[in-house]
Amino acid sequence: MQEQERQKPSLALIKELQERSKQCHEFVRSSFRSERIEHPQLRKALEHYFSYWNDFTHPGLFSIAFEASGGKPDKALRPQAAIAMIAAGFDIHDDIIDKSLKKHDHYTVFGKYGQDLSLLLGNAFLIKGLTLLSESTVELPSEKQREIFRVLKERLFEVGNAHALELQMRGRFDVSPDRYLHVLEMKAAGVELDMHIAALIAGGSEKKVGVLKEYGRSIGILATLREEFVDVFEGEELSRRVRDETLPLPLMFALQDPKLKERIMKILKKKKIGSVDIDELARIVLDIEPVDKLKKRMEKLCRRAFILAHQTEHRKSEKLLRSLPQSMLEDI
């Protein structure tokens, strides 16, 4: 690994989030393996999912928000695991919707075991996650419990609505970038949910809960926008999105210019998008005004996240919360 790569702030941050998620992952695996799953192929599908499941974003952010709100560490594991299970259920179902056979050089559950078992496994994660979250909050005041499940319902419905709206945009090259940007902002509700619920369960003050809720939305938007840029520059992922999903947002903006559209479409219609094509797209996309404005929007979100991190008034968490938005702008 080159010295420059070792010094990237995102690498240290990923390591921190992974460490905060390690015990949670072990709990989730142990919890599922203790269940009586009679169908042998479903058991194999579960183990296959665990072979590549490495979600450190949802449990990691939950851990930071819980700590920043003054929660006791020994009280965090079960609700953290519940959030991780719910996120896993949505992840498995999303692969069915997106027809994702492979991700990062491995077959998804959908790609290896098909739609039916994927649906059942996703359902199992959702059922266990929701049950565990309910059990984890049973000792809280009833008003706090109602607030937690209100937040859960509203934010998950928002994520669901975002995916439903996105379905209408698939396979189209005439999608309004502003409309798609709105969908991406709605998807950020999932990260807001992680941090908002963590702060509520930890017993944070009303002010701190509000700060972490807003921070979660800001960092969620930054993360979704970063992915839109990354997917422009990865040939295999870009080909998949052209074939089965929506185009990345920067390309949507570029297609609004009739002078650029012909050049872009010539590349996107290729059976295989190679490195030379990616370089050409980079030259086109990164030089246009709407994409420059999008980057400035991300920088503004980053500055707001810095301010919110400081308002947590928790030194250790503040350092991590300030590193997160900075990492979202890395190499963009």
Q: Which of 48, 46, 52, 28 is nearest to 122 (CA)?
A: 46
d(C-alpha 235, C-alpha 126), whole Å:
33
CA dist 52 and 32 (Å) reads 16
pLDDT of residue 235: 86
User: pLDDT tens digit string along 264-318?
Assistant: 999 999 888 999 999 999 999 988 999 999 999 999 999 999 999 999 988 889 9
Question: Rounded to an integer, what distance in angstroms lies between the CA atom of residue 190 and that of residue 186?
Answer: 8
What's residue 9's pLDDT?
A: 67
What is the number of other CB atoms lying within 10 angstroms of the CB of residue 254? Answer: 24
Measure the CA–CA gap between 266 and 173, rounded to whole angstroms. Answer: 13
User: Is 6 a residue whose pLDDT tops 70?
Assistant: no
**pLDDT value of position 271:** 84
Domains (ranges, CATH) in the chain? 7-136 (1.10.600.10), 141-326 (1.10.600.10)
**pLDDT above 50 for 245:** yes
Q: Is the pTM for the entire model greater than 0.85?
A: yes
Percentage of the residues of the chain whose pLDDT score is greater than 70: 97
How does residue 103 score in pLDDT terms, banded at 50, 70 and 90?
A: confident
Region of residue 171 (phi > 0: left; psi between -120 and 50: alpha; otherwise: beta): left
Per-residue pLDDT, 238: 92
Q: What is the pLDDT of residue 104?
A: 79
Instruction: Give the C-alpha distances (Å, rounded to integers) separating 113 from 95, 117, 125.
Output: 12, 6, 16
- Chain mean position to CA 291: 22
Mean pLDDT value across the chain: 94
Contact between 124 and 39 under an 8 Å Cβ cutoff? The reply is no
Packed helices 40-52 and 9-33: angle between N→C axes, nearest 10 degrees: 160
| CB distance 300 to 225 below 8 Å | no
Please check whether residue 274 is in contact with residue 235, taking contact to mean a CB–CB distance below 8 angstroms. yes
Binned at pLDDT 50, 70 and 90, residue 33 comes out as very high
Which pLDDT tens digit goes with each residue over 179-222?
999 999 999 999 999 999 999 999 999 999 999 999 999 999 99
Pairing between β-strand 102-103 and β-strand 106-107 as defined by DSSP bridges: antiparallel
Residue 50 CB-half CA count within 13 A: 17
In which band, very low, low, confident or very high, does the pLDDT at 4 lie, cut at 50, 70 and 90?
A: very low
Residue that is written with structure tokens 């709105």 in the block: 182
Look at residue 1 in the predicted model and tell me its pLDDT: 37
Question: CB of 140 within 8 A of CB of 201?
Answer: yes
Q: How confident is the model at residue 329 (pLDDT cuts 50, 70, 90)?
A: very high
Answer whether 189's CB lies under 8 Å from 153's CB. no
Identify the band that residue 5 occupies on the pLDDT scale cut at 50, 70 and 90.
Answer: very low
